[in-house]
Structure formats: structure tokens, C-alpha cells
Structure 1
Amino acid sequence: MRRINFIILIMTVAILTGCNEDQNKLNIEVYETSAKGNKLTELKKFEKKDSIVTIKLNPTEEFQTITGFGGAFTESSAYLLNNLSKPNRDTILQAYFAKEGANYSLTRTHMNSCDFSLNNYSYTPVEGDVNLEHFTIEEDMDDLIPMIKDALAFSEDGFKIFASPWSAAPWMKDNNSWVGGKLLPEYNDTWALFFSKYLDAYKKEGIEIWGFTVENEPHGNGNNWESMHFSPKEMTDFVQFHLGPKLEADGYGDKIILGYDQNRAGLKEWVDEMFRDEESSKYFHGTAIHWYESTYDYFPEDLQYAHNKAPNKYLIETEGCIDSQVPVWKDDAWYWKKEATDWGYDWAPEDQKHLHPKYSPVNRYARDIIGCLNNWVDGWVDWNMVLDRQGGPNWFENWCVAPVIVDPEKDEVYFTPLYHTMAHFSKFIRPEAKVIGLENSDDKLMATAAVNPDGSIAVVLFNEFETPKTVNLSLNEKNVEFSIDAQALQTIIISTKN
């Protein structure tokens, strides 16, 4: 009898201990993309590793509110989709926009042509048409607009679209060229009207535009493809005295205007001018940035400076891609190796060469997005969604890589590891999420976290090195242990049930 009672006591203690352990354990889902072949794969089993990292989440420490993640609608991408079979076209759009896919929430498109167009074109083809009576978006009707409409049909949650001009039509510019030059002062009001006309035209097609960047790369692009130069003061004056008032007068005062829209190293002088006083700040809703200044440095000090200058404004990364590079076809391993080179590898000045070493494409994306999120950036938008095996089409032959590569002649599609890298953020960190604080014991494991509107917490980890690690993750006196592989990106979802 005593033996039976003793056994019952032991079993009771074990059950109570197990219950207590369950109560103190975080309920998580872990998704991993890795050099070894995981592609947003849900992991259930973990092995203990020698290297141990502790990460403690602090949801009471809140930072920026997330606007979204996504990519750009370009004529090149839209043209390629039109040259695929309908099943493959639908597969790509579903992968980007459906809830079971990457669920993109923030997107960009171009106004007039850009380098990733099939040729130069303008919505204002008639020279001297100062009132834009002949404004037309006919060039967008075959490819670009159908792609956007189909994406909207696949998106259950919907997504924001902002538009960017690369250049006004040559007749409005001081050099009468698509490339370089400045807007002639006598066309300031005409160019402001251009933005309003664009909103009208796209609205007529059933497409709501959320906002604009004033000019793609106002410093220019080395006089290679469509561009139009602004100094910080020239752009700020244009927005304050022309664009802002025009949109307001035409009933579009709620549209978002983002200034700058180029690399981060020039950020300080731009935000100083854009937010120089209350009147100029009135029409700027935030700042747009690109990543081409470096393949590894995300410029945290510049990002923090921009935030502190305008803490209640948007700070959005509006363009990044693996540039000056022909894509590698159906070889996932290449995207994890330090073999890619960018424009700066060959052309950067000597004092800037160190910013452009050979790099791993996955590393570049994962490092930059996490680095941005940890330094006040609230949105991150990739460049072309779809390109071909050459890295085009591109009228200037400025080849680049996209997360999805296609071969229209063979009707084949390749989802590169860059697609899964983007999805780790866009799928799991939703608009209106709040970035939160965390303590990380290992500076070689990049980490960021955000609380979603539904209460779930998304933690993204990136281990770019060759050593797998065990992670002890804690939140509010609860914890859980799991592992991350070498060269791996993980998103951990902490359930609202905890």
C-alpha cells in the first residue's frame, strides 16, 4: 500500500512539474530559409548547439510603426508576366500577394518610363502642353495596369502603392533630354499638375495611389538613364510652393509625399532642408532612401539622424536590388556565396571602394532589412518583382537581379532565395506592427522583433556565419529554446495564446 502511494506521489509531482514547465514555455512557430536548402520551411525539431545565444524581448519598449514590405511594379516585370502562360503568371502574383504567399503590403511603381521600361515614354507627349490637356497613361494600359489589377485581385489584405517619376518629358527640362538636366522653373506648376493628373487617371482605372516620392534619385545616376536633378532646396521649394498646394487644391491633400529617394550617405543635408521649418514640413510626410551606397553598411547613424529630425514622419527604404549583375539561374547556392559584385565594385572612387566588396545576395537583403528595422525604418520595398535570365528587359541594358527570374521562351519560373528572404519579413510583420526592444547576447546574430496588430510577435534572426547556434528566447518570464542553422534566416512567431 505504501509503495502504491509513493508511486502516485511521484506521478503527481511529475505531472505538476510538467504543467508548470508548459506554463513557463513560449508557444512558437519557427520558419527557416538556409543555405542548406530550407525555403521558409517550418521547423519542429531542434538539436542543441555548442554556441548559445540569449534573446530577451521587451514589448513595453516600442519604436516605429510598420508601414509595410514589398516590391515594385515595373513595365519590365509586367511585360514578362504577359509573356508567360496564365498558370505561371498567376503562380507568381499569388506568391507575392496572396495571404499564403509573401502577402506584400507596400509597393512602388514608376511614372513615365524608367530604366526598367522597354523604351522612353511620357504621359505628356505634346510639347508645350502646359495644362496637360493631352495627358495619357496609354503606355501603361497593356502591361503595368493589368499587373497591378491582378495583384490587387490576389491580395486579400490589400496593399499601398506609391509612385515615383524618373524624369519629366524632355520638353520640360533645361537640357531637352531624358537623361540629367533640371526642370525648367516655368514648368513647376505643370509638373505639379502632372502628379494630380496621374492620380485622376489611375483612379479611373480603379487603382488608388497612396502617395509619391518626388523624384527618383535626384542626384542623378551618372547620366545613364532617365533622371532629373534636384538640389535639397530645389526639391523642398517645389514641394512647399507647387506640389503640396496643388494636391491639396485638387482634393488630394491626404496623399503621402516622400522626399529625397536616394542613397543614405546624403541623408543629413536632405532632411535638414526638407524639414527646415514648419511650412516646408507641412507637405513632406517622410523620407525615402535607397541602399546602393554600400553592400554591407546600412548607415545606422544617418537613419537615426533622419528619424530624430522628423520623428513623426515616415522613413521608408524605397528601392534596393542586386544591381549591375546578371542573375544566376536555378542555382540557390550562388545566392548564399560572396560572389556578387555591384556597380561600386568597379566604379566607386578609391576612398569608397571598401563599401563595395564581393558579397552574398541573401546577406545583403537580410542584413539591410534587419539593420533598417533596428534604426527606425518603417517600410522596405524591393525593386523589380520579375526579371528574365539576362536581368532585364531594360532599354539601357542595366541588368539586375529580381527575387523571381523567368524564361518566357521556355515558360519557366525560378523563385530565388531572395524571394524567401523578402517573405520572412512581409509575410510575418504586418502593417501597423510595432517594432519592440530586445536584448541580444551575440552581436554576430542579427535580431529584430515586432508586435503585430493581432498581438502575435514576430522575431527575425539572421545567422550569416558558419556556426549554428542554440537560441534561448524569453518574454515575460516565459522562454523557449531552439536552434538556428549556419547561414540561415529565421522568423519565429510567438502565438497570442501565450
Structure 2
Amino acid sequence: LTASAYKPLAAYFVKFLQAYKERGIPLYAITPQNEPFNPVETYPGMSFSALDEASFITNYLGPALKNATLAPKILIYDQNWDRPDYPLEILNDPTAQRYVSGTAWHCYAGDPSMMTKIHQAYPSKDMYVTECSTGQGGIAPLSAIEFFLRSTQHWAKAVVLWNIALDISGGPKIGEGCGGCTGLVAIDQATGQFTYTDNYYHLGHLSKFVVPGAYHIASTITRASFPYDSPPEEVAFQNPDGSKVVIVYNPSSWSDTFKIRWNTHHSFVYTLPSKGIVTFKWAGKLPSPLITTMWGRKDHTSWFRLIRWFLSLLALAASLFSIPQHRDPSPLNHRFTFRGESFSAQARSPPAL
């Protein structure tokens, strides 16, 4: 982008935001450029160096938004975890930094731990993962549940999947668009049939139980006696009403038995099948958590199938409530000798989701 185009681009952002606001849609955040290292020719894209983005934000975008009394969050970078040098270069500029609310990331390369490194350097700047296409046919090296758990464990305030609904070829697209990107719902436009993808069910493990205003709370995993090197992955949250949510994923090829403990004296044991996902939710100080599982992937193309699916869930829920639970006065950091994992929730104050 030539320097002479910076001012018109900033004015375009202002008009864009104003148009949405006039229609009752105030936009939460913007990024100056999608994937600045990816100047593709098959859909809109552009190279934008960190130095140039910092200059654009400092001298044009930030002042233009302020003069128009618009206050969307400005998120920098908007590409993969493998180039933390890009957001760091902008955040190291004190003039640009004052306009920046956080960093936007994509999931296609690198490791989510990079977000923790940026957070440690600039704890007041939030992390958002603004794009990830996972699941069968997706282009990310992670499954959706791995993406959710690892991102939120590394300070992501929000995670966004590509896309809500697409046709069976991944469209509609601008030009060639994204090859291999998948949606939560796949729609066959010829027949009108639709299918919920794996991503739909993976997302439900968080979005159905972790509500707006929730906080990510610290959780620890204690390695016990395992015959393999793939322990469960987990993340914990506290909702505004005080309820706790723990999501656990078993990446191994074996079933795992583990214990979840909280409040120093409440605990229960659960066995999770290979590749299984489970969400536990309990309210306040209730000693018995509400246990919810979402295992399968189904195609709800008729009321009959929907009713059958609902009845199956009722039967599953009835069986889950028979899981034995007990109190254990052992301290939170106690190492259990049974085969499995131990989780303990301890409060901290990371950013709200």
C-alpha cells in the first residue's frame, strides 16, 4: 500500500464503521489488514509490514477514529502464531501502542504458546484468535477442540471458526477463495439437506456452557501412572453466576480415568473414551456437578431424526447422573496414584471471554 493511500483507507474505515452503526450494528473490533504476509491474488489480500501498519495506525487510523468519535478495538497483525515478531514490533512503538487493544491471530502455523509470550510482555493487550478452519478437510493442523483448549489456555479472549455455514464445496467464495476451509454446517444447495460437522459439536462443548462475561480460571493437571504420553487436555471457566465449567479432551488411543477436584473437598471420577470430549458444569457450591457429554455427529434432516436424537440425549443424561461421586478432604496439590489425571481449579484473574 503506497503512503498516499493511507489517509483514504483510514477514511474508508470510518465510513464503514459509521454505516454499520447507523443500522444498529456497532462493530466490536477491526484489524487493519488480514494476513499481512499473504498477498494472494485469488481473493483480496495485501502485504503490510509491521512498520507500515504501525505508521498507518499512529498517523491515520487511530486519529481518524478518534475524530469521528468511534471506538472499535484495533487488533494488529491478524495472522499465524509463527511470527510473534510482527505484533511485538508494533507494540514496542509507544505511539502506536496507545491505539492498539490487542493482537489477532490465525491457527495455521506456529504454536498458541506464542500468545502467552506476548501477554507476558504486554499484559494489558488482549489476545484474539480471529480465524481457524479445522476438522475434516480443514487446513489447520489442529482439531477444533484442540484449538479451543490450547487457545484459551494461552490467553485467547475469543476464538473464531471459519465459518458458520458453507455449501459442500466450501463456498460461496470471492474468486478461488479458501481451498479446504470448512464450516460448522455443510449445506447441499441442490437438495436442501444439511449436515452438522465435527466442528459444530466441538464448539458446543464451550459455547453452550461458557457464557459471555465468563472468566478463564486456572486449572492444573497432575500426571499419574500412564502407559502412554498423551494425557488429557483441559480448560476451566467460571461464569458470571458462579457456575464452573471444565472441558476435557482425551487425545490418546486409550480410555482415561481421571479425578476432578474443587473447593479442596469436592471431587468425582470419570472415564473418558479415546478421542472423547466431555463438558462438566456445576453451580456455585453444589457438591454434585452437572455432567454433559456430546459425542457423536448427526445429520438432523427431519423431525423424526431430531426427536430420536433428543430422546437419545435424555437416555445418556440419565445414565450420566448415576456416576458415583464422593468427597475427598485431600489438598488440591495431592498426587493420586490411580490411573488417570487430577485437576484442581484455582482462581486467578485473566481477561474475560
TM-score range (shorter-chain normalised) is 0.7 to 0.9
Which blocks of at least 5 consecutive residues in structure 2 are unaligned? 224-229, 287-353
Aligned counterpart in structure 1 of residue 266 of structure 2, from 469, 475, 478: 478
Give deviations 1:427-469, integer Å, cap 9, x for gaps: 2222322212222124610011011111011101011222112
Q: Give the Cα–Cα distance (whole angstroms) in 2 for the partners of residues 371 and 465 of structure 1.
A: 16
- Is 2:49 the counterpart of 1:234? no
Identical amino acids, percent of aligned pairs: 27
Q: Structure 1 residue 280 and structure 2 residue 92: aligned?
A: no
**Alignment of 1:404 onto 2:185:** yes
Moved more, 475-484 or 234-243: 475-484
- 1:311 maps to which residue? 123
Instruction: Give the Cα separation in 1 of the matches to 2:183 and 2:282.
Output: 31
- 1:106-150 residue CA offsets vs partner (Å, 9 max, x unmatched): xxxxxxxxxxxxxxxxxxxxxxxxxxxxxxxxxxxxxxxxxxxxx
Following superposition of structure 1 onto structure 2, how do residues 207-246 of structure 1 map, counting pairs within 5 Å?
Answer: 207-246=25-64
Match of 1:16 in 2: none
The structure richer in helix per residue is 1
Match of 2:205 among 424, 433, 457: 424
Amino acid at match of 1:406: I
- Two-structure CA RMSD over aligned residues (Å): 1.9
2:8 aligns with 190
- The match for 1:387 is 166
Aligned residues: 277
1:457 aligns with 2:244: yes
Distance in structure 2 (CA, Å) of the matches to 1:427 and 1:221: 37
Offset of 1:397 from its aligned partner?
Answer: 5.2
Q: Which runs of 4+ in 1 moved over 4 A?
A: none
What is the deviation of 1:235? 0.3
What letter corresponds to residue 262 of structure 1 in structure 2?
Q
Structure 1: segments with no counterpart, 5+ residues:
1-182, 323-333, 344-355, 357-362
String of CA shifts for 1:285-338, please: whole Å, max 9, x gaps.
Answer: 0000001116xxx341x222111122111100000004xxxxxxxxxxx94xxx
C-alpha distance in structure 2 between counterparts of 1:439 and 1:247, whole Å: 42
Within 1, Cα distance between the matches of 2:4 and 2:93? 25
Give the counterpart letter for 1:205 in structure 2: R
CA distance in 1, matches of 2:55, 2:213: 31
What letter matches 1:312 in structure 2?
Answer: S
Q: Which has the higher contact order (CA 8 A, sep 6+)?
A: 1
Match of 2:219 in 1: 438
TM-score, length of structure 2 as denominator length: 0.74
Q: After superposition, where does 1:305-384 map in structure 2 within 5 Å?
A: 305-322=117-134, 335=136, 340=137, 342=139, 364-384=143-163
Please state whether the residue corresponding to 2:17 is helix, strand or coil: helix
| 1:463–1:487 Cα contact (<8 Å) kept | yes
Question: What SS does the aligned partner of 2:64 have?
Answer: helix
The amino acid that maps onto 2:183 is A
SS at match of 1:384: coil
Matched, 1:493 2:311: no
Deviates more, 1:280-289 or 1:416-425: 416-425
- The verdict on how the C-alpha distance between 1:403 and 1:481 changes in structure 2, with shifts beyond 3 A counting, is same
Cα displacement (A) at 1:484: 1.5
Q: CA deviation at 1:471?
A: 2.2
